[in-house]
Every structure is written in structure tokens, then in C-alpha cells.
Homo-oligomer: A and B are copies of this chain.
Amino acid sequence: MHKLAQSVLAYIRRNDLLRPGDRVGIAVSAGADSVALLRLMLDVSGELGVVPSVVHLNHQLRGAESDADERFARDLAEAHKLDFLTESLDVKAHAAEKKLGLEAAAREVRYELFGRALHSGVDRIATGHTLDDQAETVLLKMARGAGTRGLAGIYPKLAIDTPGSTGLAIVRPLLGTRRAVLRSYLAEIGQSWREDASNQDLRHTRNRVRHEILPRLEQDVNPGVCETLAETAEIARAEEAYWGAETSRLLPQLWRLDEHGGILQLKHFASLPLAIRRRLIRAAAEAVGLALEFRHVEEILNQACEGSASMLPGDWTVARHGDELRFQKASEEVTDYQYELSVPGRIAIVEAGIVVEAIVINGRGSPDRYTPQHLVDSSCAQKQWLVRNWRAGERFWPAHTKEPKKIKELLQDRHIIGKKKQRWPVIACGGEIIWLSGFGVRRDFQAQGNHGILLRELEGK
């Protein structure tokens, strides 16, 4: 057995990638890494008791070159008397249809092929990802902002969903091996491969990282930077596994789905360490199909006040109500809404993306805390206050207008249209609309002097 094959064998065993009897479909593109993978797997398959075959996807991206890649892979399979499974799929068309980038489309198509191979009797797919790929991935994810989660990089083994089963399916036996070592090995055993010109194309971000940034880090900072990044990935993977287990354990105790989204109980949550709280917020959001950025997580964690709310992507809001954080998706349907506002008090109007606050001003407050047109006459204080959307035909009298106008027209004048317009909030008090969002307090309900109830509209945060 070749010395390199011994080290690959040790990697496979240490990471428990294959079991005796496994039929392993080796993904051979025709490039150096995958060709080396095939030859190394042939060398170790006896010792491991596994049966290799070749799987090839013709991406049809480079015309005659792609066809030549396919022939190369087929010849290689035949030379070693291995089963050969190939499919020719139009990745470009798939990308156009699914509105994906080429890389993402190629990935989808590839995984579909892997899925079919796994369904038709192959137990594992082995891919030729190397330690260099790992280092590039970690650096890319790090730079793009995947937090500590992205540092896990490429996994040595990966479960993918295939029709009929979910389970471990893809393995990367070369993830501990440098690309250069594979090329020396191929030269040594006299095995040719095909170069893919697109690997040199510096328009691709990964290629710039590979050919320009990593070499510079190797030269300027640490000659072993690739191994170091791969080590970091290994550390991060174990930590991710830990966080995943902790989150799965804790989330069900604190979180339940409801018809609007879900509710997180804050009572015990607040005493958990920050790192866990961040993970739980993220996991809760994921449970309703929402991918949060770090700043969203921070915004939600900082929601200390009753009634404060965060506006999130995809029309989602998270609002605090007492000891609960409510994740809600604004309905696509425009629905009427109505909430009671206690005075003094504060309420989040998730439908409109704002928070309204009512503060009692007794004349002693600093005058720069409010403008008088936001001050409601104290006589309203004893009545019930309702925050709701306006209804057709309702009128409002803004501060600097001679007479009341139709709310419909006031909003149109400000170019507020569509659903936003229909959901626009007002406050009604004793049957009268006394406040219109963006317009302040109704002219004939404004306080005289500096006693009254201040209505403040806060950004949804």
C-alpha cells in the first residue's frame, strides 16, 4: 500500500467514514483531486472491505471539454473494472430555471445525482475535497460572516436527504490531505488527470482566495496557515455539535409554535449565558423558517421593554409581551387589527412595524422631551384607548389644517399606498379617532399647556 494511501486509510478510520461492505460511489470529475481519490480508494478498498465504483456528472458547462471529462472518467472506471454511473445534466438551464448562481445550481444538480446513486444501491458517496478546500472554505465563511458557525467548514461526513432515507451519505476521505501531495502522488504512480481551466479563473471568489489570498497569508503570516485553518474547522465542528445538542435540549423547554409563528418564554431564558441565548434566538427563528443575521439576534436580545419590537426580514416581527417574545409573520392578507393601549403604557403594532408609547406629562418634564402636537388633552385619560387600523370613510383633523379630512386622502397625499396604507394605525378614544400615525394628535384633542398624555411613535425596536 502506498504511504499516502496509508494515511488516507488512517483518516477514514479515525473519522469512521466507511463500514466494511459499503459500496462507495467515488465522485470523479476528472480533476486531479478526484482522480487521486479514486486511485487511493482502490488502494485501500481491500483493507477496508469496501466496493468502489465511479460516479460522474457531466455539467455541460464547457462543451467538448465536459464531454472529454466524462470520457476520461469512464475510461478510468473501465481500466479498473469499476461500475460507472454518469448523468449529463444542463446546469446552466437549471440555474436559469431555479434563479440560482451557476455554482449553487451545479451543487443542487450534483446532490440530486448523488441522491439517485444512493437510492440505487450505493451506500456512500466519496468526494475529493482536500485540506486546501477546507482552508479556503473556512477563510471564505469567516470573511463573509458566518460567525463561529461557519468555521466548521466542510464536514468529513455529511447526511443528505435522499428519497426514502436520511442518513450519513457523503464522505470526504481526503479532507486531511494537501492538494499538492495528491499531485505528487499522481505523478509518482504515473496517473494523468484533466485540468479544469475554470479553476484558474480569478473572476470566481474562491479562486482569488486560492491563488492570491491564501498564498499571501502563507508567506506573510504563517506558512502552515492551511493546516491551521483546517484545525480550526475541526475544533469548530465539535463546538457546533455541542451548541446544536444544547439548543435541541433547551429550546423545547422555552419555545412553542403557534398560528402566528412562535413564542419564546423569557423567564428562564434570561438567566442563560449569552452564547446560549444567541443560539436559542437563532434556533427559534430557524424553527419558523427565518434566517437571522447577527445584528437581528442582538436587536432581539436587547428587547428589554414590554411592547418593544424588532422588524425582521420577510415581514417578520419579534415583540416582547411581558415574559414572552412573540415571533410573528405579518399576514399577507390585510386583516383589521385592534389593541388596547393602557395609559401610561406602550404597545408594539407588529402589523405596522411601530411601537406606540403613551406617557403622562405633568408639566414638570423637560420641555424638549416632546412637541405639543403630540400631547393629548388629559380629559381623555380615563377612557379606553384603542390602537387599530383606520376604516374606510374615517376622517382626521391634522394640527395645521383648517378642517378634518378623509384619512384616505391624507395618506394618499403622502404617497402611502397598498397594504401599508390599509394597515396604517390610528388611536381611537371613546369612539373618536384622536391620533393618526405620522400626523400626531387630532387638532381639537391637543392639550393646552403642558399637562396631558404624550403619544410617541418609536421605530420598531
Contacts and interface: CB of A to CB of B under 8 A. Distances in A.
Interface stretch (A166-174, A271-279, A432-440): A271-279
A256 to B, nearest CB: 25
B208 A220 contact: yes
A209 B208 CA distance: 17
B145 A224 contact: yes
Interface stretch (A60-68, A227-235, A378-386): A227-235
B278 A148 contact: no
A222 B278 contact: no
Contact of A216 (B213, B224, B229): B213
Contact of A142 (B142, B213, B241, B245): B142
A232 to B, nearest CB: 6
Interface string A182-225: 00000000000000000000000100110011001100111011
A151 interface: yes
A458 to B, nearest CB: 16
Contacts of A234: 294
A417 interface: no
B276 A232 contact: no
Contact of A145 (B142, B228, B273, B294): B228
Contacts of A242: 273-276
Given A278-B235, A278-B238, A220 B213 contact: yes
Given A143-B225, A241-B275, 18 more contacts: A140-B221, A142-B142, A142-B229, A144-B221, A145-B228, A145-B231, A147-B232, A147-B235, A148-B236, A151-B151, A213-B221, A231-B295, A234-B294, A235-B275, A235-B278, A235-B294, A242-B273, A242-B275
21 contacts: A140-B221, A144-B222, A145-B224, A145-B228, A148-B236, A148-B239, A205-B220, A205-B221, A208-B220, A208-B221, A213-B217, A216-B216, A231-B294, A231-B295, A235-B275, A238-B274, A238-B275, A241-B275, A242-B274, A242-B275, A245-B273
